[in-house]
Structures are given as C-alpha cells and as structure tokens.
Structure 1
C-alpha cells in the first residue's frame, strides 16, 4: 500500500515575486533568487530623535520686583545711616567740636532823642566778645551785621568786619549802631524817656570751619543777646558804659530748598 504525501501547512517565508512586480526575479550570482527580509522597527517607525528641552525660566511678577527694590533701598538707607553715625563718632572723638561763644561786654548809649512825633534818633557804642573754645578748629566769618531793638522797635544798626577766629582765641569786636528818625509806637516812646532802656542785640553772618587744610562751606549763623539794660543820657551829659556781660545764644541756620531752619 502506497504512503500518502500531505502538503505542508507551513507557509513559505520567501514566496516568489509575481509577474505584477515586473515579471522578473532578481538573481544572486549563480542564478538563485535573492531572499527578501521583513522591514526593521526603525524603518516602520521613522520618528525624530527626542531631545529634552531646557526648563522655562519663571518670570518675576511686578510685585516681586517691587518688593526686592524696596528691600534693597531699605538696606542701603540703613547702611548709610550706620556709616554716617560711625563717621560722626570718629569726628567727635578726634576734634571734640564746640560752638563759638558770644557775649556783650560793653554797651554805651551816647545819644537818644525822642521827638514829639515819636521819632527816635540814637547812637550806641557796642563791644561784643567772641571766644573759640576749640583746640583743632578754626572759624572764619563774613562781615557781621548787628541790629539793636527795644521792645520790638528798631534802635540802631551797624556791622563788624569779617575775621578769622583762631584756635583757643578770644576776639573783642567794637562798632557803632545808629538810628535816625525811626518812628515808634507811643508806648515805646514813653519807655524810652525813662532812666534806663531794655535792649536786644542780634548778630547775623555766615561762618565756615577750617580743619587743617580742609574748609567747609559757609553756613548762616545768628546770635541773639537779650536782657541788656542801658542807662539813658540826661541832657548833654554822656552816660557811662554799661558792662552787662550778657551771654548770647548761637543758632545755626540751614537752608534746604525753600525752607530755612
């Protein structure tokens, strides 16, 4: 009995090319057909290579920028204040600065006439003593204007020449203050006819400071002397000089833009 031959159920992995593809098969050297292989994964999935992107920078908000600016400004101001305090402390330790002292050493009323129409004519001889108590600081003054008043009424004006006030030095300045035909209130005119009058003396100038070879900018300085009693001359007789030795108050005047302190 002859054996039966069954066809294989396994498909041929390399089927021959049909005539629809050109009707010819490729030969390999000795005339055999060239086997074809299935496409690889790289051919099936032709995707671009992945490249990681750098992380996006966060944009600062406007509030964060304002907060940072405010913090920096505060830190800068605090630093400047600390530096100024340190500089001031070092300056005080090295120089021990003190204000100049002024006092009225002598006042003589040589002429005083009060007319029926309450007009005053007066003449005064005034001596003012200036003292510099500093050991390392020199003051230099512009010409000094002097104004004398009695109960708010103008009693005479004058001036002192400018000078340089050396260290640990005392300088006596002398001048004459006059007033001619100055109108006053009847109440003030009545007080001027008494045996003594009360006077206030004001000095005003600009002063600078010299430290070695360094000079500062000049600042306005005002000196106020109050409570000076002077005898009134009688007739043609000149009154004797009064030596009140009144201490005066010294005020520095700073000008910042439109304001004066």
Structure 2
C-alpha cells in the first residue's frame, strides 16, 4: 500500500485573488464607516447662529415706473456654538427683500473663518442702483412708512465647511433669513430702532 487515502481531501480550498481583494475592501470600508461615525458622534457640528442687532437706513426711495433705490446697513452677529469644530465660510453674499421681493442687489462679503465658541460681527452696507419692483412693493412701502414700521428680510447666501483639526468636510450651501421690523418714517436718515428681530433661520 502506498499510504494514500483515496476519496479524501485536505479540507482546504484556495481562495481566488479577486475574493481576497473584495474581502479586504469590505473590511476597509467597514472600518472607514465606523471611524467616520465615531468622528461625527464626537464632534457633531451644530448650525451657526445669526441675529441682527442694529440697522441704519441712508436712502429708501421709490420712483415710477416702479424702482426702489436703497442704501442700508445691518449689523449681523454670528456665533459658532461648536466646542471642537471651526466653520469656514466661502462666497457669502447678502441682500435685502421686502414683501418677498429683492430690493437690493447682492453684495459679496469677504471669506470668514469662524473659530470654536466665538462670535463675529459684520456690518455690510446693502444697496446701490435702482432695482425694479412691483407696484405692490412701492404701495406697501408708502403705507408702512406712514405707520412708521417697515418689515424687512436680510438674506445671506453662501457655502460653508466644518473643520476639526486637520479634517475638513465638503462644502455645504447655507441660506440665512433674518426678519426684522424697523421703526422708519419717510425721509428719515440714519440709525433706526429695531422693533423686532427674532433669531435668524439657518438652512444648510
């Protein structure tokens, strides 16, 4: 007898290189997902907070056909509530709307780097050349100035990234809406009182 055991195998089946690569890739993706989830749970970035704390009106005139010429300045305070995550803003712009119609051309703001637990104030001057509007806007403005209360919306648009150490996220669109009510009579120029300024709504 030659000692061989016919009909029996060693129980070992060689794996193909493709199968090995797939398993390694699956393990890598699983570990990467767990790492990303852990980082998210640890840092968990929160939305920034925005509020309007001051306003000035230097020009607000309507002409026929209906155009509005404006020059306004708003002091906007933004706070980064995160303890571990900085916020980087890119391509920020701002404009003012009245009765859901834009009454100032967009003004582009400089890039902003917002460190953790910090507060930044900015005071852009918004306005410029005449902007075409509807008759409803012109008539509404006349009525509101007569009563001395004008409701405006300051809008900021742009993109932001969160940064934690050396890690930066991709860019996310940010849309900030700040509804304010100012005390304004026709012909008045200068700092105007804020009669109402709730926290801005931030969409990311």
More strand by share: 2
Please name the residue that 2:13 is paired with. none
Please name the residue that 1:219 is paired with. 172
Q: Separation in 2 of the partners of 1:166 and 1:239?
A: 30
Q: CA deviation at 1:208?
A: 1.1
- The answer on 1:128 being equivalent to 2:76 is yes
Please name the residue that 1:98 is paired with. 46
Alignment match of 1:171 (pick from 120, 134, 139): 120
- The answer on 1:202 being equivalent to 2:202 is no
- The answer on 1:180 being equivalent to 2:158 is no
Please name the residue that 1:192 is paired with. 141
Q: TM-score, normalised by structure 1?
A: 0.59
Q: Separation in 2 of the partners of 1:241 and 1:223?
A: 22
Change (3 A) 1:82 1:214: closer
Q: CA deviation at 1:146?
A: 0.5
Based on CA coordinates, which of the two structures has the bigger radius of gyration?
Answer: 1
Change (3 A) 1:241 1:125: farther
Q: Separation in 1 of the partners of 2:195 and 2:125?
A: 16
Change (3 A) 1:239 1:104: closer
Q: Separation in 1 of the partners of 2:102 and 2:129?
A: 10
Contact 1:121–1:181 (CA<8 Å) still a contact in 2?
yes
Q: Separation in 1 of the partners of 2:178 and 2:168?
A: 28
Contact 1:108–1:230 (CA<8 Å) still a contact in 2?
no
Please name the residue that 2:11 is paired with. none
Please name the residue that 2:19 is paired with. none
Please provide the CA RMSD for this pair: 2.7
Q: Separation in 1 of the partners of 2:43 and 2:191?
A: 45
Q: Separation in 1 of the partners of 2:83 and 2:191?
A: 40
Please name the residue that 1:107 is paired with. 55
Show CA shifts across 1:32-58 (max 9, x none): xxxxxxxxxxxxxxxxxxxxxx9xxxx
Q: TM-score, normalised by structure 2?
A: 0.74
Show CA shifts across 1:70-117 (max 9, x none): xxxxxx7xxx79974x44652244224211111122222221111232
Q: CA deviation at 1:153?
A: 2.2
Alignment match of 2:200 (pick from 248, 252, 255): 248
Return 5+ residue gaps in structure 2 as ranges: 1-6, 8-25
